[in-house]
Amino acid sequence: MADSAQTARPLSPHLQIWRFTVTMAASITHRATGAVLYGGSLLLAVWTYALAFSPSLFSAVSGFVTSPVGFIIVAGYVWSLSFHLMNGLRHLYWDSGRGLAVPTATKTAWAVYIGSVILAAIILWAGYAGMGA
């Protein structure tokens, strides 16, 4: 009797019974930003190559980066880098055995999201403000 009751239950938790939380979102975002960093690093490598070897290629890449589409890509890369860095520091904090309680993990997840937006805004402002210097 007990064996048949166990087979009727799901074998593992699934998304239909989980409540979406900010800690879950931070985990998913951390993985996504890691993937985005690959593409942004490729753009950075192309820009560096162009700077070193071809003034005309550098001009084309710089023109793209300063365009509206380029700004969105650069802003996404900078935010991804900021988020991944801050969430990595959060994971280092967890490695010390602290901050693992649900209320603390939730607060630190919110702090990573808010802090990464602020850090990215500061970096973008400084970068684009210094372009004319």
pLDDT tens, 82-121?
999 999 999 999 999 999 999 999 999 999 999 999 999 9
Q: With bands split at pLDDT 50, 70 and 90, how would you rate the model's confidence at 126?
A: very high
What was the pLDDT predicted at 100?
94
In a domain, 62, yes or no: yes
Number of domains in the chain: 1
Residue 124 lies in a domain: yes
pLDDT tens, position by position, 11-67: 666 667 778 899 999 999 999 999 999 999 998 998 899 999 999 999 998 899 889
The answer to whether 84 is a known ligand-binding residue is yes
The answer to the question of residue 9 being in a domain is no
Q: Is residue 31 part of a domain?
A: yes
The domain that holds 27 is classified in CATH as 1.20.1300.10
8 within domain boundaries: no
Domain boundaries, position 125: 22-132
CA distance 86 to 121: 14
Q: Is residue 5 part of a domain?
A: no
Q: Is the pLDDT of residue 133 over 70?
A: no
Rounded to two decimals, the pTM is: 0.82
100 is a domain residue = yes
* Residue 16 covered by a domain: no
